[in-house]
Every structure is written in C-alpha cells, then in structure tokens.
Amino acid sequence: MAGNEEKNDEKRRERAYRIWEEEGRPEGRHLDHWQRAEDQHEDTEREADTSVGSEGHPSRHDDREGK
C-alpha cells in the first residue's frame, strides 16, 4: 500500500507544479497550490469511485453482449 501512497503523492506534486506554472510561477503561494492539487486529486478519486460503482464492471457487460 505504501507504493500506492507514494504514487498519489507524486501525482499531487505534479498537479501543484502545473498549477504554479499556470499562474505564472508566483512566489509564496505553495500552500494554496498544494491544497488545490489535493482537492483536485480527491475530486478525481471520487469521480472514479462513482463511475465504477454506477457502471459495474465493464468487461462483464461486454461479455454478455457478445463483444
């Protein structure tokens, strides 16, 4: 599980860096950028959980359809 947590931290860092660059690399806003990256990551995770829960397992659906 630690590997997955490290992967998520890396994704957050990359998001925060992109936000920083998009805003013109302002000084002193790192906490704001990190928080926004955290929020975006959580939104993405929540959307992924919702789509899997509402659609079920797509490959099983394809098997039933003969695809």
pLDDT by residue for the chain (67 residues), tens only, comes to 578 888 889 999 999 999 999 999 999 999 999 999 999 999 988 888 888 765 555 544 444 444 4
| Tokens describing residue 27 | 């000084």
- Domains of the chain, by residue range, sit at 2-64
The confidence score (pLDDT) of residue 53 equals: 64
pLDDT at 56: 53
Interatomic CA distance for residues 6 and 25, integer angstroms: 25
> Please, what is the end-to-end C-alpha distance for the chain in angstroms?
34
Of 43, 35, 55, 45, nearest in space to 7 by CA:
45
- Rg from Cα positions in the chain: 17
pTM of the model: 0.64
- The Cα 16–Cα 10 span in angstroms is 10
